[in-house]
Amino acid sequence: MTHTTRIAVRSDDIDVNGHVRDSKYLDYAVHARWVTLAHAGLDATKLVAAGLGPVNLEVSITYSRELVLGDEVAVETRFEYPSPKLVKVVQTLTRRDGVVAAQVVSVTGLMDLRARKLVDDAAGRYGEFLRDLTVVDLVPFTGSAPRTGR
């Protein structure tokens, strides 16, 4: 499942060349990721209170077309689970005219903040804090943790 967050390009997002600064693409992706997790029911304060925190392990941005002032970007976010410890977030940033501006791919983990290491079952642990698992491509089952929908 993909979740879409719409973001208007603001004047302070623009660089001297008149297009969106490279760091703002990442800001848009991070914002959309948190909006998607909130839509799934995640309360970040409860996650941290449980001694867990998300960590980025790898982030890549592929730029295709520029974004400029006045654009509205739709950030489509989807989650994949390539291994038990990892969550891959694939986000496509599309302009209002339907042209893909960029893709941001983040490989993340969920850190046990006390042990300072990744948890063994990131999807299952996230699932404990979500109301709607389908928003992040998890499918519940009768067991100790949800499994991926892929």
Mean pLDDT for the chain? 92
Domains of the chain: which residue ranges? 3-130
Cα–Cα–Cα angle for 93, 11, 96, rounded to 5 degrees: 30
Distance CA 84, CA 16 (A): 43
Reported as a single tens digit per residue, the pLDDT across 20-44 is: 999 999 999 999 999 999 999 999 9
Residue 143 has pLDDT above 60, yes or no: no
Share of the chain above pLDDT 70, in %: 93
In 3D space, the residue among 3, 113, 19, 104 whose CA is nearest the CA of residue 68 turns out to be 19
Q: What is the DSSP letter of 11?
A: G
Q: What pLDDT does 123 receive?
A: 94
Distance CA 34, CA 94 (A): 18
Q: What pLDDT does 140 receive?
A: 61
Distance CA 62, CA 109 (A): 21
Q: What pLDDT does 133 receive?
A: 93
Give Cα separations from 52 to 10, 23, 39, 44, 144 (angstroms).
33, 26, 19, 9, 18
Reported as a single tens digit per residue, the pLDDT across 59-74 is: 999 999 999 999 999 9
Reported as a single tens digit per residue, the pLDDT across 92-111 is: 999 999 999 999 999 999 99
Q: Which CATH architecture has domain 3-130?
A: Roll (3.10)
DSSP line for 69-134: TT-EEEEEEEEEEEETTEEEEEEEEEETTS-EEEEEEEEEEEEETTTTEE-S-HHHHHHTT-S-GG
Q: Model confidence at 150, in pLDDT bands (50, 70, 90)? A: very low
